[in-house]
Amino acid sequence: MENFLVVAIFTMWTCIICILFAIVFLYKKVQSITMSVNNTNTNTNTNTNTNTNMHPVINDLFLPLSDYGLEQGELFPVLQFTEVSGKVINLTERNSRGLIIVFLSVNCKICESVYQGLKLFSERHPYYDLSIFMESPTPEEVIQKAKTLQIKHPIYHLTEADLTITRTRKFPFAYYISPEGIVMSKGVINDGLRDLDILLKIGAQVREAS
């Protein structure tokens, strides 16, 4: 009987010690998991702040397909051209604050709503040159389009080679070019005047930041 009690007491204390060890182990495990979660949240916040600093949003201004075509900071490859009237235009020799190059197509239905916006933009911003690069099967179609719509801006007939070197086959699409011929901003301009104003504002802020 006495031996049975000794064994029982020994077993009881062994169980108690094992339970205490288990409690301590679980407590340390919970602490470890909590610290890991906190570190992850801290790293996430740090990465978010870093990304925000690397890619700042410019006053929430935005144009569709602003990542399409020539890269921002790239030299525009067609700085001299002969417009459909026969006049040679050198964009970097023009006395202006910047250049707006608008890519249009004779057969583009959306482009029809843009032409009036081009006229209004030039009236509002007379110190910025605006030229039209128009895609069509023949130069004659471009000339006819200019006559029909009474377009006064310089118009250049885009060839297949031009479309390739400018990497631009979307219409209506526009570039804001610095007086030195560098791409400052770009994007689709479906809304004509409004989108051209956005294009100009983004480009002006990029120039100030560079």
Interatomic CA distance for residues 143 and 151, integer angstroms: 10
pLDDT for position 157: 95
3-state secondary structure the chain: CHHHHHHHHHHHHHHHHHHHHHHHHHHHHHHHHHHHHHHHHHHHHHHHHHHHHHCCCCCCCCCCCCCCCCCCCCECCCCEEECCCCCEEEHHHCCCCEEEEEEEECCCCHHHHCHHHHHHHHHHCCCEEEEEEEECCCHHHHHHHHHHHCCCCCEEEECHHHHHHHCCCCCCEEEEECCCCEEEEEEECCCCHHHHHHHHHHHHHHHHHC
pLDDT for position 26: 58
Q: pLDDT tens for residues 93-132?
A: 877 888 999 999 999 999 988 999 999 999 999 999 999 9
User: How confident is residue 92, by pLDDT bands cut at 50, 70 and 90?
Assistant: confident
Mean pLDDT across 180-195: 94
Task: Give the residue extent of every domain in the chain.
Answer: 1-56, 80-209
> 37-51, 78-92, 145-159, 166-180: lowest mean pLDDT where?
37-51
pLDDT for position 18: 64
Mean pLDDT across 165-188: 96
pLDDT for position 121: 95
pLDDT for position 54: 30
Q: Report the share of the chain in percent with pLDDT over 70.
A: 75
pLDDT at 31 over 60: no
Is 0.95 topped by the overall pTM? no
Distance of CA 108 to the CA centre of its chain: 24
Superfamily of domain 80-209: Glutaredoxin (3.40.30.10)
Mean pLDDT across 41-54: 36
